[in-house]
Structures are given as C-alpha cells and as structure tokens.
Amino acid sequence: MSLNWKEINLILEELDLGGSLIQKIRQPDFKSLLLDLYKPGKGFPLLINLNQGNVRLHRLTGNNPGKVVLQRFAQFLRARINGGRIISVLQVNNDRIILLTILNGKEETHLYIRLWGGASNIIATDSDHNILDAFYRRPRQNEITGGIYFPEEKTITKHGSSGTFDIREYDKSKSFNEFIEKFYRNLESDRELETLKTRVVSVLETRETYIESVLSGLEEKINNFENYSQYKEQAELVKANIYKIQRGDSFLEAENYFDNNNLIKINLDSTLSPGENSELLFDRYKKAKSGLENIRQEITTLNRNLELIKKEREELFAPETSSNSIREFRNFLEKMPKQIRLKEKEKIPGLQFQSGIFTILAGRTATENDLLLRKYVRGNDYWLHTRDYPGGYIFIKAIRSKSIPLEILLDAGNLALFFSKAKKNGKADLYYTQVKHLRRAKDSKKGTVLPTHEKNISIIMDSSRLNRLLGRTQNEEN
C-alpha cells in the first residue's frame, strides 16, 4: 500500500526538515538512500525507499539496515550536497513528489523525491531545472543528466491528489512516522519470510530428489553384485579342475560340487593360464563383495540423510518456531555447504556424513580421493589420513568463522580408521592438515599427496560413534 499525498504531508509536518543539516549520505541497499540529518535539538536518519511495493519516506528509528558500497548517484550526492542545509521542503502539487531545496555553500540543488510506486525516482537538478543526475536514469522519460525536470509546471496527474484519500488509522499516542516505519518493516519481514521459505523448501526438495535418484541407481546396481559368491565358487571349481584346462581353452565344463554335482559351464579367458583364470575369478569375487559392502554403506547413509532432511523440515516449519523463522531459515541456508547449494544435482564421489552442522566427505578409492581433491574441497577444508596404512581420504568441510570442534575431529578420525587397512587393528595414528597444505606427489599414483603443517592424532575405534555416523545398529556392526 503506497503512501497517499495526505499521508506524505503528515510525515513532512512531523519531520520538520527545514533547516536540517545533511551530515552524511548512506546506502542501505540498491533501492534506498539514507540522509543523516541534524538540527539543534534533534538528529535522525531519513530513509528514502524506492523499492516497488515499499516506496516511502520516513524517519528511521529502528536498527539501521545493512549497507552497500555507495553507488553512482549516492556518490554524486555525497560530493554535491553533503554538509549542505535543507532550506525549504514542499510536496509539489500534492502529487507525491517532494522537493528538497538544499544549499551547500553558494551551490543550490533541487532534490525531487518522486514516490510513484513503479515510477519512483530521485532526481537532482540545479536552480534552472537542468538534471544533474538521477537515482534511476530513464532516457525515454528524459530523466538523464542534461535533461530538464520541472514538475511544478505540470498539471496534476493520475498519481496526484485527484480523488478522495484518507490517512489510515493509527495510534495517535505515537507519530505517524513510527506507524509507517513499523508497517513497512512488518511488510518487508513478511515478504522476506515467504522468500526464505520458498528457498528453504527448494533446497530440501532438491536434496531429497537428488538422494532418491542416487538410491534408485544404487538399488539397480546392487543387483549386479548380489550373486558375487558365484565367482568364488567358480574360482574354486577352476582350481579343483585345473588339470583339465589348457591355455587357450575358452570354457571349463565340470561337476559343480556346490550344486549337487550338476554340470556347470564356466567361461574362461583364453589368453590366460589356468591358474591366472582362477585368480581372475577370485579377484572378481573380492571386487564384487567389496562393491556390495560399499553400496550397502552408501544406501544406509543416504537413507539416514533422508531422515535428517525430514527432521530439518519438521524443526524449521514447526509452529512454535514461527517467531524465529527468518533467523532460522537464514542460518539454515548459510550453513549449507557451498558445493551442495551449487551442485546439488551432481553426484559427489564417495560418501557424505553429517556431524553436527559439519559435512564430512569420505573417499574410498584412489579415484574418489582424486575427484574429491580436484573438485569438491577447498583450501580451508581439513584432510585426514592414517599413518603407515593405505586408506581413504577424509575431508571436513570448513564453515566460515567456525573452528573444528574436537567431537567433529573424532568423528572424522574414526571414519578415516574405518576406511583404511588399519581397521582390523582397531586403532591407528592419523595426521591431518588443511587442504591448502597438501601438495600433489609427482609421478605417483592417482590422488597421492604430500602433507605439510600436519598435526597428529591417535584414534581408537569407537563403535558407538561409527554406528551413529553409518546409521547402523549394534547388531549390524559386524
């Protein structure tokens, strides 16, 4: 709801701007200006807001809004009228155009503040009505430097005082300025809340869709590994019948003592020896078994992440948090890891874990380690790895202005131990450092790095901590 001309007159009467000294010019955002005014006995910031739907002018009594670097027009005003004095104030033809005449030394400036909703503007002219500059330069309306702006000569437009207007009801024990300020603050808060809600819902839905699509792919992939035991059986049969096989044979037909001695035909690689064929089948068995375990771990983690998203939604949109919703929604969006906000639809290699507000990434293979290093971590993120044992790379995603708590470090350390060859020992020494202190090892295997500035930490495997991170019960531990 825009201010009508009667409301503008009332605001100007309460402000009594005549004789005020302009002490400072500030810019809260890209559609507003603040003039810090002073006259004996009082001083206050005057807010001029040109944002469509919130166009207004009033004294600012609440907390000052944020600020941006002074833009072109604000810089011009600082050079032209800063330190000047307002010598007259009027509303032109009751047309929602306020004219401030400002004298700075011997230089006179006419500052027209037009509060016309979508056509709002601030235009500075000299005493001959030549446009010096404008907040919004509009060539089609000739509102550009060098143009002429002289609304005093124009007839009253549809924006003006034709028709009946009333001052809206307000508490007369307070000023109309206070009422208008509170009215628009509430209006802006409501709009910001709706915008934040939309963004948060979009983020949550994107995360859910992403996780569900990955789960669907993993469910299909798991079918390829479920019969992995057949490779072990075939390897054993090849080994037991190795005397029947010659190099160059493309298959072996033998009795399957795993299946009531029924005949089985096993495909062989004709370029390999019988022993190498047996080893090849054993390797397939090991890879399939390992792949199946990794997929099951990932499915468990992803399902747990879905539950966390559901919990986040319930907490964010719970009725009792409505009064703090803006703050809660802002915090939620700010803590979202950057790569998840910008690349939600791109599958991050390895596994992801949530430890408090921190995200932990785990690479399990040389390829995953290398991809995480090249694309998904930044210099301030932390890297952990077991000493003297091969294993996956663990990364803690840094959050601006927050140090890594010990509990988060212990979570990441347990994951580093779990995804390493030291897992069977139940303990290991680890080193950790920031990613910016890693240097790629020349002519080494993919993903190999040399750390500097590293620190040491000893980890004893904590089953309860791992169960929480991996989303498994005590019965599933082994």
Q: What is the pLDDT of residues 277-314, one digit of tens each?
A: 888 888 877 777 777 777 788 888 888 888 988 888 88
**Which DSSP category does 3 fall into?**
P
Strands (E), 248-329: 251-256, 262-267
Number of neighbouring beta carbons within 10 Å of residue 392? 24
Helix (H) or strand (E) holding 134: strand 131-134
Question: Does residue 397 carry a pLDDT above 90?
Answer: yes
Name the nearest CA neighbour of 329 among 205, 195, 207.
195
Task: Encode pLDDT of 85-139 as tens digits.
Answer: 999 999 998 889 999 999 999 999 999 999 998 899 999 999 999 999 999 999 9
Place of tokens 């209006």: 187
Confidence of residue 355 (pLDDT cuts 50, 70, 90): confident
Give me the residue label for tokens 């992440």: 305
Quote the CATH superfamily of domain 5-163. ibrinogen binding protein from staphylococcus aureus domain (2.30.310.10)
Contact yes or no for 53/64 (Cβ under 8 A): no
pTM for the model stands at 0.53
Q: Are 392 and 369 in contact (CB under 8 A)?
A: yes
Q: Which residues of 79-93 are buried (b: 16+ CB within 10 A; e: fewer)?
A: ebbbebbbeebebbb
Percent of the chain with pLDDT over 70: 90
Give yes or no for a contact between 385 and 394, defined as CB atoms under 8 angstroms apart. yes
- Give me the amino acid identity at 421: K
pLDDT of residue 430: 94
| Confidence at residue 206, expressed as pLDDT on a 0 to 100 scale | 81
DSSP result, 158-223: TTSS-S---PPP--TTS-HHHHHHHHHHHHHHHHHHHHHHHHHHHHHHHHHHHHHHHHHHHHHHHT
Phi and psi of 193, rounded to 5°?
Answer: -60, -45
Q: Which amino acid is at 438?
A: L
Query: Residues of CATH 2.30.310.10 domain(s) within the chain?
Result: 5-163
